[in-house]
Chain A
Amino acid sequence: MFLLAARERPRANGNRQALFESLTRDSYRQAYGLAFRLTGNAAEAEDLVQESFLRAYRFFHRYDESLPFTSWLYRIMTNTHIDLIRRKGRLKTTSLSLEGPEGSATWDLPTAESSPEQRLIEASMEEPVQKALLSMTAEFRTAVLLADVEGMAYEEVAEIMGTSVGTVRSRIHRGRKQIREHLLKHSPKAYKRYQDEL
């Protein structure tokens, strides 16, 4: 029995590497979307994703497969985001990589449900929303993004952020209010147009 176990171990390690790579390919897109919202630009988003997956790989032996991989990865990404802010200082709020007639060339195409007018109005809110997000603390920004963009329940957000549901509730509530105040202050016309269109 012992010899069998010893022979299997190197192969199991290779399988773990292949498994991790496959998980990476399945999840990197969604991870990048969140990373972009957390950092506000493509370069830092790439840094955050790369650093997060590297840390995830180094600690892969501690991943419990009964949990969804993205939850575990997002936990690492959340901590890495805060870590990188501490190391690099404040986030760059001046350079947003938004170019092109309706926004960045790297944006996904909007869903077919919106009319062309709606899509224009929604596109005009992209940059103001991102600026509002960047003006918040990492904790508030993360909580709001996980709940409202990633669509997670409070319990899952709490698990990812390593905090209580009560704290999540408070962060989401105050975060949304901060976003609203920022939009009213910096983009009142666009925000009103969006409210009317809803």
Chain B
Amino acid sequence: MNCKAAQQRLSAYVDRELTPDEQFALRAHLSECTQCREEEQELRVVKALLGRTLTPEPSPDFAERLVAQLRQEQRPIAHVPFSRRWMPALGYGVAAAAAMLLTLAYINPSRKAGANRDLSNMPNVAFEVQRDQTFRSSGDPLGGAPVLSAVYGR
């Protein structure tokens, strides 16, 4: 193993994430290479520094504000007028067209469908989106693809 290959694996080595073969080859290289050993040490310093950072705490009332906001979200759908919930600036017609386009966008397989396999069910999303009618954000939070910006040409 040369220095270039060794250095690419150093972080994984520090994290014990190398395969046994990689680890064996890297250890052999490290026993003979001061430069790579120094690089390994520098990575350990950064890793330790990050691990020892203090945890930022939220303000004391944050939990209650968060829960209050979630409870607002849980209000029954029937109480809120359709036009105000879907898109404030749009009328019913455009909102219906948007819903249809959203459905089509979800049915088309996205590039990331493979990566999402474990954490999302792509085929069911279209119907759930239509049924939910609470979907305001600009993309599938589990897929990371901004669907609405594509629809509105942003």
Report A's interface with B, CB cutoff 8 A: 17, 20-21, 24-25, 28-29, 32-33, 36-37, 42, 45-46, 49-59, 61-62, 64, 67, 72, 75-76, 78-80, 82-83, 86-87, 103-104, 106-110, 114, 122-123, 125-126, 129, 144-145, 147-149, 151, 153-154, 159, 162-165, 169-170, 172-173, 176-177, 179-180, 194-195, 198
Contacting pair A107 B115 (CB below 8 A): no
Q: Which of A50, A83, A145, A179 contacts B46 (CB 8 A)?
A: A179
Contact B132 A58, beta carbon cutoff 8 Å: yes
Q: Given A33-B55, A162-B115, A179-B46, do A46 and B73 touch, yes or no (CB 8 Å)?
A: no
Q: Count contacts on B: residues with CB < 8 A to the other chain.
A: 54
B38-65 contacts to A (CB < 8 Å)? 42-43, 45-59, 62-63, 65
Are B70's CB and A59's CB within 8 A? no
Q: Is the CB of A32 within 8 A of B10?
A: no
A59 with B138: CB separation less than 8 A: no
What are 28 contact pairs spanning A and B, CB under 8 A?
A: A21-B67, A21-B71, A28-B63, A32-B57, A37-B53, A50-B69, A52-B141, A83-B146, A104-B56, A106-B57, A107-B55, A107-B56, A108-B57, A109-B54, A122-B52, A126-B54, A144-B50, A154-B12, A154-B15, A159-B118, A162-B112, A162-B116, A162-B144, A163-B115, A169-B17, A176-B11, A179-B46, A179-B50
Report whether over half of chain B's contact residues are helix, strand or loop; otherwise say mixed: helix
Note all chain A residues with C-beta closer than 8 A to B43: 173, 176-177, 180
Known: A50-B69, A79-B139. 4 other contacts (CB 8 A): A33-B55, A46-B58, A123-B54, A172-B12
A24 touches B66 (CB 8 A): yes
Say how far B84's CB is from chain A's closest CB, in angstroms.
17
Enumerate chain A residues within 8 angstroms of B56, measured Cβ to Cβ.
Answer: 32-33, 36-37, 42, 45, 104, 106-108
